[in-house]
């Protein structure tokens, strides 16, 4: 059996896409008045760990921004056949923002 290795970026972007789909599901359940706590997969926390973000107050604020960025997934039509492209565009946009934040934090530490 041939092993397939993912780069860190591929893993994170794959998890970001999964996070966006999960986020939409959880938000939809909330809007329907259902308890969605049992359906949250906590993928966002895994993404933050893989990117090397800590748990300081500054990172907590970034996490809140990240969830605000994720809110854009609610505008994507999941019933249409062309949801893949806007979903990937949003995933890539969020990844770039997180990478930029990571770079800025490294520069400030110097």
The tens digit of pLDDT for each residue in 3-18 reads 778 899 999 999 999 9
Which structural domain range is residue 80 located in?
Answer: 10-109
Asked whether residue 33 is domain-assigned, the answer is yes
* Best CA proximity match to 54, nearest among 110, 109, 6: 109
Q: How many domains does the chain have?
A: 1
Asked whether residue 4 is domain-assigned, the answer is no
Asked whether residue 5 is domain-assigned, the answer is no
Joined tokens for residue 58: 């500054």
Of the chain, the percentage scoring pLDDT greater than 70 comes to 98
Asked whether residue 94 is domain-assigned, the answer is yes
In this predicted structure, the answer to whether residue 107 has a pLDDT above a threshold of 80 is no
End-to-end CA distance of the chain: 45
Summarised one tens digit per residue, pLDDT across range 37-70 is: 888 889 999 999 999 998 889 899 999 999 999 9
Asked whether residue 77 is domain-assigned, the answer is yes
* Residue predicted with more confidence, 10 or 79: 10
Asked whether residue 3 is domain-assigned, the answer is no
Q: What is the structure's pLDDT at 110?
A: 64
């Amino acid at each position: 059996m041939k092993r397939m290795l993912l780069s860190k970026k591929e893993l994170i972007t794959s998890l970001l896409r999964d996070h966006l789909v999960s986020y939409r599901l959880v938000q939809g359940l909330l809007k329907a008045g259902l308890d969605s706590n049992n359906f949250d997969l906590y993928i966002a926390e895994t993404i933050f760990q893989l990117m090397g973000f800590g748990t300081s107050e500054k990172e907590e604020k970034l996490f809140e921004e990240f969830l605000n960025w994720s809110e854009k997934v609610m505008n994507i039509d999941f019933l249409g056949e062309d949801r893949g492209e806007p979903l990937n565009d949003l995933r890539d946009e969020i990844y770039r923002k997180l990478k930029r934040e990571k770079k800025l934090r490294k520069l400030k530490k110097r």
